[in-house]
């Protein structure tokens, strides 16, 4: 009988009010495991414990905290092959990507381990004689972290690591689609020198556990990555308690290919950006805005490259694109294929369900041609291995199309012109801009986030994370006469 993987509640591993089954999207006959679903009472209990644990953790010395985060990061990097295999098995991304994600998650922890030792305040002179001022950052309190399934370990890590670094307690609700990676990370964290109940894992449905979590007055801050509708719902619930929120949501990223671009480079960037992670990235290149002078040559190379991609089992050697994560996601993806055709777009290749040696959620990467920026396939986040080519007549038109969206996470340009690259960097209305690089792929030590419907609240990653995970205290001191 398969053992039920438990939640970490108030410092103890506990079964829940039920469990869910988790299967490998590359091979549905492969049962990854059974995972407990937390009850509302368990959530309340772990929230109560988190508050006292947080005060104890905040009182730990800097070096003691640093050692904890360093140990977590080092173990993740050391076990990248093992845990990357587990991640790819349950999420569907090729093993190289799964292994890389675990290693990157470890780097988040080692980065914030160092930040534990760099929490410097400020001093100021007062406008009043004999008064001095110091400004410091203190923990915000208990943080709810709600993470997605597409980067189940990395996205969680870039939230959990700064939360702990800056002295907070963490209550983590991961996506129910990828619970195995959540349990694996929690086991590593739970073994460390931390107060009982400082870190909690509460697996459960968003409509029950997730909703109760964001509505709780015992939560001081909520960091969420997911869809726009869910994010707006969280914000509406959080405002009732004036809870601090940080949200990374949808996107519709554009890669602009100019008439002076290196076409081989442009195609490589487009293929990786559009189909890496099976297109299930918030930074995916889902709009390819191409200058008419190179449009036909670019499209020919792009379609050939797309058709040459190897779709297969995530753990098989040579697989370039694995399955999508679930039956629901596959159905939504295929519905977008039908929508694109109904809007008049030409499906040049792919976009079909594939039958493989093992039963799974496979589809071929697809390219739409003859699209306009007003089509729904170019307005809505598809989260699929689908991309659309939009032909433009000039750089100015390309920039206008790039910016014509409700989102604003990433954008990129492929050009040899320093003037265009500089102008694009300054005028693209996205939180992240790339030049001759994919729209997907960011560093861990610098801010990450977007504009419009893509993001709300302070930036994630790097030193910018302190803005969300801490609160500022200004102290006035009068020492009196000598």
Q: Which tokens hold the place of 294?
A: 């190179």
Mean pLDDT of 362-372: 98
Per-residue pLDDT band at 207 (split at 50, 70, 90) = confident
The 8-class DSSP code of residue 380 comes to S
Per-residue pLDDT band at 441 (split at 50, 70, 90) = confident
pLDDT in tens, 161-206: 999 999 999 999 999 999 999 999 999 999 999 999 999 999 998 8
Alpha carbon distance 323, 212 (integer Å)? 32
What whole-number percentage of the chain has pLDDT above 90? 96
Residue 104 has φ and ψ, to the nearest 5°, of -65, -40
As beta bridge partners, residue 471 has: 138
Alpha carbon distance 11, 212 (integer Å)? 20
| Burial call 210-248: b when 16+ CB within 10 Å, e when fewer | bbbbbebebbbbbbbbbebebbebbbebbeeeebbbbbb
Angle made by CA atoms 207, 210, 214, in degrees to the nearest 5: 120
pLDDT of residue 1: 59
Mean of all residue pLDDT scores within the chain = 96
The SS3 of residue 99 is helix
Residue 481 has φ and ψ, to the nearest 5°, of -70, 150
CA torsion angle 374 307 250 211 (round to 10): 130
**Contacts (Cβ under 8 Å, ≥6 apart) of 440:** 253, 272, 273, 276, 277, 281, 283, 284, 285, 410
Distances (CA, A) of 458 to 45, 223, 390, 437: 29, 10, 32, 25
Nearest Cα residue to 248 out of 348, 155, 142: 155
What whole-number percentage of the chain has pLDDT above 70? 100
Q: Is 116 a catalytic residue?
A: no
Mean pLDDT of 51-68: 97
Distances (CA, A) of 425 to 116, 258, 406, 414: 33, 14, 19, 12
Distances (CA, A) of 405 to 125, 360, 389: 46, 34, 15
Using an 8 Å Cβ cutoff, are 223 and 166 in contact?
Answer: no
Per-residue pLDDT band at 349 (split at 50, 70, 90) = very high
Alpha carbon distance 472, 458 (integer Å)? 14
Q: Is 248 a catalytic residue?
A: yes
Mean pLDDT of 257-283: 97
Q: Which tokens hold the place of 231?
A: 């994010």
Nearest Cα residue to 9 out of 51, 53, 47: 47
Per-residue pLDDT band at 307 (split at 50, 70, 90) = very high
| Catalytic option among 19, 248, 381, 460 | 248
What stretches of 132-178 show up as alpha helix (H) in DSSP? 154-165
Mean pLDDT of 86-110: 97
Would you list the DSSP string of 340-372?
A: HHHTT-EEEE--SB---SS----B--EEEES--
Q: Which tokens hold the place of 389?
A: 């080519």
Alpha carbon distance 329, 355 (integer Å)? 16
Alpha carbon distance 245, 222 (integer Å)? 5
pLDDT of residue 105: 98
Alpha carbon distance 37, 40 (integer Å)? 10
Mean pLDDT of 78-101: 97
Q: At what angle do helices 80-91 and 62-78 cross, to 10 degrees?
A: 70
Using an 8 Å Cβ cutoff, are 345 and 368 in contact?
Answer: yes
Alpha carbon distance 451, 453 (integer Å)? 6
pLDDT of residue 382: 95
Alpha carbon distance 204, 174 (integer Å)? 8
Mean pLDDT of 139-166: 97
Using an 8 Å Cβ cutoff, are 284 and 294 in contact?
Answer: no
What stretches of 171-254 show up as alpha helix (H) in DSSP? 179-190, 211-215, 228-239
The SS3 of residue 11 is coil
Q: Which tokens hold the place of 152?
A: 């189940």
Distances (CA, A) of 439 to 230, 297, 435: 24, 21, 9
As beta bridge partners, residue 172 has: 145, 201
| Catalytic option among 282, 349, 381, 460 | 282
**Contacts (Cβ under 8 Å, ≥6 apart) of 75:** 106, 188
pLDDT in tens, 383-401: 999 999 999 999 999 999 9
pLDDT in tens, 209-221: 999 999 999 999 9
């Amino acid at each position: 009988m398969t053992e039920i993987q438990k939640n970490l509640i108030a410092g103890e591993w506990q079964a829940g009010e039920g469990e869910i089954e988790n299967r490998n999207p590359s091979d549905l006959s492969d049962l990854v495991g059974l995972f407990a679903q937390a009850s509302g009472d368990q959530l309340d209990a772990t929230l109560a414990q988190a508050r006292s644990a947080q005060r104890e953790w905040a009182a730990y010395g800097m070096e003691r905290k640093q050692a904890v985060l360093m140990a977590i990061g080092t173990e993740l990097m050391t076990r990248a092959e093992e845990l990357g295999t587990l991640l790819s098995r349950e999420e569907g991304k090729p093993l190289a990507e799964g292994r890389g994600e675990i290693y990157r998650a470890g780097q988040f922890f080692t980065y914030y381990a160092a930040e534990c030792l760099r929490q410097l305040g400020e001093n100021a002179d007062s406008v009043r004689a004999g008064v001095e001022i110091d400004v410091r950052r203190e923990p915000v309190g208990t943080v709810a972290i709600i993470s997605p399934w597409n980067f189940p370990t990395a996205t969680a890590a870039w939230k959990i690591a700064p939360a702990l670094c800056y002295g907070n307690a963490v209550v983590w609700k991961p996506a129910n689609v990828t619970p195995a990676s959540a349990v694996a990370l929690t086991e590593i964290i739970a073994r460390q020198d931390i107060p009982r109940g400082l870190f909690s894992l509460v697996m459960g449905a968003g409509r029950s556990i997730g909703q109760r979590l964001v509505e709780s007055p015992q939560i001081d801050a909520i960091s969420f990555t997911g869809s726009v509708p869910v994010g707006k719902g969280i914000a509406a619930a959080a405002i009732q308690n004036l809870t601090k929120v940080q949200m990374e949501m949808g996107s519709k990223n554009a890669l602009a290919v100019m008439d002076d671009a290196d076409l081989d480079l442009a195609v490589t960037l487009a293929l990786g950006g559009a189909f890496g992670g099976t297109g299930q990235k918030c930074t995916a290149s889902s709009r390819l805005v191409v200058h008419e002078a190179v449009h036909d040559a670019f499209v020919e190379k792009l379609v050939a490259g797309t058709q040459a991609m190897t779709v297969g089992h995530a753990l098989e050697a040579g697989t370039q694109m694995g399955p999508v994560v679930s039956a629901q996601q596959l159905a939504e993806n295929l519905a977008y294929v039908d929508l694109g055709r109904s809007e008049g777009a030409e499906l040049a290749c792919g976009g079909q369900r594939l039958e493989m040696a093992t039963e799974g959620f496979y589809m071929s990467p697809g390219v739409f041609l003859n699209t306009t920026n007003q089509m729904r396939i170019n307005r809505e986040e598809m989260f699929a291995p689908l991309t659309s080519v939009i032909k433009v007549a000039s750089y100015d038109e390309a920039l206008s199309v790039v910016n014509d969206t409700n989102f604003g996470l990433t954008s990129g340009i492929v050009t040899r012109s320093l003037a265009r690259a500089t102008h694009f960097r300054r005028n693209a209305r996205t939180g992240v801009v790339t030049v001759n690089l994919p729209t997907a792929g960011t560093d861990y030590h610098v801010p990450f986030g977007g504009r419009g419907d893509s993001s709300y609240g302070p930036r994630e990653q790097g030193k910018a994370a302190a803005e969300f995970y801490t609160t500022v205290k200004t102290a006035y001191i009068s020492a009196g006469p000598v």
